[in-house]
Amino acid sequence: MYSSSFRPEALLRCEKIQSALRTSHADSILLNTNANLYYASGRVFSGYVYVPAEGEPHYFVRRPVGLKGDTVHYIHKPEQIPALLAEAGLPIPRCVALEWDASHGDFTRLAAVFPDVEVVNGSAVMRAVRSVKTNYELALMQESAVKHAEVYRRIESVFREGMTDIELQIEIERLLRLHGNLGLFRINGQSMEIFMGNVICGDNADSPTPYDFAMGGAGLSCSIPVGANGSLIRPGMTVMVDMCGNFTGYMTDMTRVYSVGELSAEAARAHACSIEIHRAVARMGRPGVAAADLYRLAVQIAQDAGLDDYFMGHTQKAGFVGHGVGIEVNEAPVLAPRSKELLVENQVIALEPKFVIPHVGAVGIEDTYVVTPEGMKAITSAPIEILPLQ
Amino acid sequence: MYSSSFRPEALLRCEKIQSALRTSHADSILLNTNANLYYASGRVFSGYVYVPAEGEPHYFVRRPVGLKGDTVHYIHKPEQIPALLAEAGLPIPRCVALEWDASHGDFTRLAAVFPDVEVVNGSAVMRAVRSVKTNYELALMQESAVKHAEVYRRIESVFREGMTDIELQIEIERLLRLHGNLGLFRINGQSMEIFMGNVICGDNADSPTPYDFAMGGAGLSCSIPVGANGSLIRPGMTVMVDMCGNFTGYMTDMTRVYSVGELSAEAARAHACSIEIHRAVARMGRPGVAAADLYRLAVQIAQDAGLDDYFMGHTQKAGFVGHGVGIEVNEAPVLAPRSKELLVENQVIALEPKFVIPHVGAVGIEDTYVVTPEGMKAITSAPIEILPLQ
């Protein structure tokens, strides 16, 4: 299933899942979405991972052929799982956690595999487990962060006068891919669709999208109405670059702003306010602090600066200022007013206090941070000021 | 919700859905996945489309702000839907179709919105409706097909000696994007993840993937173990290009093969066999013909040529030779041995008889066809022979 060097990490993740199961009602979990298969086994495959209350995970594999391991079982259909568990000497679970985020069809089929067994929400279990990263995961996120920042430092080199937002985005996509970006932008749930990220210039930042985004963008098609819309990049506008950093299966999130010509004083002031929010939230963001308090701190700073009209969007506002990130871009915790979560050491959070200034565009930066006892430490490091394009 | 020019199309699609509902047990359908929202309303938004047994669809919108129309209702949560339906003079349904493909969490919440109402599988209803394209949809698919082929005709121009598979893929991705490709590769269900398509060279074609693919590829990461793996493109190898054609919200599927230097006679023979299968299947593929019979015809031709060992994969084989395509890449019908579907006029099918030849790579082509009374007509038109790169 995995290389011998990954074995200690696989066992550590298994222990984390088992520890979370002990605080839930379930005595086992059966995983079937790609993000959780990747977490639990170190690779994506077609099949299922079963983690019992005690002992090693069992891998039920449909494809690919050729995976090996003591607890790897090849199957044609999930209905074979109970007999194979019995053969392996494992009891039928009393209560199994299944993924609420899986399709209803898959969920229903898996629930029927264990008739008369209680079923609870396994997505909630995995969301909590995955929000706190292991050292192995932090190293992968660091690797993504370094490459992400490396590409951002080269954005000026691919800009040409007369470009549209989408033309610039395409060159940034190519740079990202040439630096090893895997392209795939993994998003939890089925509702949000984005392609590699967004480049937004000028008033397109104020076009509302279907999603809970501060900066929106009308997009190029009603089938994916978000992001670049073909606007010409012109003097007096900002260009906000918010592209995905999936270089390792773990994603970093990072936003920087560029300008062509002179910007309004208000845009510059709002950008400075975003940086001030970053410093204040990073200082306060320690283990045990409420995610909702960090949201309120950010809003307070924007209000004190008289910029709340533009904070986290203008025509349509986003309801958060930061979010967990890892295998997926929208993990726990969420820095939002109703969040019940307290920060935990080694959570990884993308903080994105942004402003939409009418007639100018979006300003503010986004960085990805690790929660430490000394506060949140940024891992995406690149110049934070508004950078001139040309 | 949509422009006035889209209104006749929106009503036609609504009638198609209502006609399918009449053959099911349901007297209404409530849609919430992006692909079906896009189908039913002409755009992606955050919310729900409710299609009653009779009358116009109602749109329940969370985001974006600003959508207009007589039957557009802004909501904060789906629990508001029954009261708004009552206000609009619509009865509470006797049986509602909900999407089995939606997450179990979403499904459960929507089912609870209509307590004491019977629930049936709405994904099956929509799969049948969407498999037969309207003229409006066919025009969008034609537009995608023309652009798709235009890019393929320029692939030779971006090849440089000494390139790896992924380097060539990145240049093709850029060409696609510059020609208007939206990037997003929409796949039904949650299990299959691909980024824009695949470029596979040499023996990497024989690396098994988690998916039901003829040509595989180890990929660059265990987090997305499919496609290009960084192999150097060398003489004697084939390079198979199978990239996504989403230029309009409707996708075409198309594969062409390139060679560097001389290929083995067996590879050339298998490629010719793929073309022969295309001709035979296209001739036979008329309304009323069983999808399974088309699969059997393809397999028979490969067997008669003594190439069945390599047909649809070698180490790991795919279980189909073609699939419906439209808003998503894996629509109905599927040309597979157990398919129960009969072809219907104006279905759109991607046919992909491929061979994996050890030590050479993948050969064969894929084209997207429309089912007509005279047979299947290809809409993706480009040279079909193995094209030399350099």
Number of neighbouring beta carbons within 10 Å of residue A116 = 5
DSSP 3-state percent helix, strand, coil across chain A (nearest 5): 35, 25, 45
How does DSSP assign A192-224, residue by residue? ---SSEEEEEGGGGGS--SSS-SS----SSTTS
Nearest CA-CA distance, residue A10 and chain B, Å: 14
Residue B366: closest CA among B350, B347, B382, B343: B350
Choose among A25, A21, A76, A86: nearest CA to A51. Answer: A21
| Contacts (Cβ under 8 Å, ≥6 apart) of B7 | none
ipTM confidence score: 0.98
Question: What mean pLDDT do residues B360-367 have?
Answer: 98
Distance between CA B188 and CA B15 in Å, rounded? 23
- Return the amino acid letter for B135: N
Torsion of CA B85, B88, B93, B96, to 10 degrees: -60
DSSP A217-280: ---SSTTS--S----B--TT-EEEEEEEEESSSSEEEEEEEEESS---HHHHHHHHHHHHHHHH
Instruction: In whole angstroms, give the CA distance from residue B130 to residue A203.
Output: 36
B221 Cβ neighbours under 8 A, 6+ residues apart: A182, A248, A249
Q: Is-contact B331 B323, C-beta < 8 A?
A: yes
| A299-308 average pLDDT score | 98
Q: For residue range B191-200, what is the model confidence (pLDDT) as tens digits?
A: 899 999 999 9
A303–B contact, CB cutoff 8 A: no
Judging contacts by C-beta atoms under 8 Å, the chain A residues touching residue B32 are 191
Give the Cα separation of B189 and A160 in Å (integer): 40
What is the predicted pLDDT for the residue at A200? 98
Given CB atoms, is A74 within the 8 Å cutoff of chain B?
Answer: no
pLDDT band at B189 (very low <50, low <70, confident <90, very high): confident
Closest-CA residue to B251 (of B363, B129, B133, B376): B133
Tell whether the model's pLDDT for residue B390 goes beyond 80: no
Give me the pLDDT at residue B95, please.
98
At residue B215 the predicted structure's pLDDT band, cuts being 50, 70 and 90, is confident
Helices A7-23, A122-131: crossing angle, 10 deg rounding = 130
- pLDDT score for A242: 98
Residue A43 distance to chain B (closest CA, Å): 5
Mean pLDDT, chain B, as a whole number?
A: 97
- Say what angle helices A104-113 and B104-113 make with each other, to 10 degrees: 100
Nearest in space to B270 (alpha carbons), one of B361, B348, B338: B361
Mean pLDDT of A323-345: 98
B199 in Cβ contact with B171 (< 8 Å): no
The pLDDT of B271-278, averaged and rounded, is 98
pLDDT of residue B191: 84
> Which of A210, A207, A230, A212 shows the shortest CA–CA distance to A220?
A230
Band of residue A286 on the pLDDT scale cut at 50, 70, 90? very high
B329 within 8 A of B185, measured Cβ to Cβ:
yes
Give B80-97 pLDDT, tens digit per residue: 999 999 999 999 999 999
Q: Is the pLDDT of residue A390 over 80?
A: no
- What is the pLDDT at residue A216? 87
* pLDDT of residue A82 exceeding 80: yes
Residues of chain B with Cβ-Cβ distance to A42 below 8 Å are 222
Q: What is the mean pLDDT of residues A282-303?
A: 98
User: How much is the pLDDT for A96?
Assistant: 98
**Sequential DSSP letters for B235-285:** TT-EEEEEEEEESSSSEEEEEEEEESS---HHHHHHHHHHHHHHHHHHHH-
| Averaged pLDDT of chain A | 97
A46-71 mean pLDDT: 97
Restricting to B residues 210-269, those with a Cβ less than 8 Å away from any Cβ of A are: 210-212, 216, 220-225, 246, 248-249
Which residue type, as a one-letter code, is found at position A102?
A
Q: Residue B383, preceding bond cis, omega within 30 degrees?
A: no
Q: Coil, strand, or helix at residue B370?
A: strand
| Contact present, B255 and B238 (Cβ < 8 Å) | no
Which among B2, B100, B248 has the least Cβ separation from residue A103?
B100
Query: How far, in Å, are B101, B226, B351, B366 from residue B241 at the CA level?
Result: 30, 13, 15, 10
Strands (E), chain A: 28-31, 46-52, 58-63, 72-74, 95-98, 118-121, 197-201, 238-246, 251-259, 322-324, 331-335, 348-351, 355-357, 361-363, 367-372, 375-378, 387-388
8 Å CB contact of A316 and B64: yes
B135-167 burial code (b ≥16 CB/10 A, e <16): ebbbebbbbbbbbbbebbeebeebbeeebbbbb
Angle, helices A122-131 vs A34-41, to 10°: value is: 50
The three-state secondary structure class of B28 is strand
**CB neighbourhood size of A23 (10 A):** 9
pLDDT at A194: 95
Q: Do A43 and B222 touch (CB under 8 A)?
A: yes
In the DSSP assignment, the letter for residue A346 is: T
Q: What is the DSSP letter of B216?
A: -
Q: Rounded to 5 degrees, what are φ and ψ at A369?
A: -120, 150
Positive or negative, the CA dihedral A380, A382, A385, A387 is negative
A375 touches chain B (CB under 8 A): no
Under the banding of pLDDT at 50, 70 and 90, the label for residue A189 is: confident
Instruction: Enumerate residues 6+ apart whose C-beta is below 8 A from A87.
Output: none
β-sheet bridge partners, residue A46: A63
B34: tokens are 């992006």
CB contact under 8 A, B170 and A167: no
Q: Which residue's structure tokens are 């994603």?
A: A251
What pLDDT does B317 receive? 96
Q: In Å, how far is A279's CA from the nearest CA of chain B?
A: 31
CA distance B21 to B40: 14
pLDDT (0 to 100) of residue A118: 97
Give A-chain residues touching B43 at CB under 8 angstroms: 222-223, 225
DSSP A308: T
Name the pLDDT band for A139 (thresholds 50, 70, 90).
very high
Would you tell me which residues 167-186 of chain B have a C-beta closer than 8 angstroms to some C-beta of chain A?
A: 167, 170-171, 173-174, 177-178, 180, 182-184, 186
Residues 15-44 of A with CB under 8 A from B: 32-34, 38, 42-44
Contact A42, A57 (CB under 8 A): no
- Looking at residue A78, the DSSP 8-state letter turns out to be G
Q: Are A217 and A204 in contact (CB under 8 A)?
A: yes
CB atoms within 10 A of CB A232: 12
pLDDT of residue B320 exceeding 90, the answer is yes
CA distances from A142 to A216, A286, B364 (A): 28, 19, 42
Tell me which residue has tokens 């292991």. Answer: A134
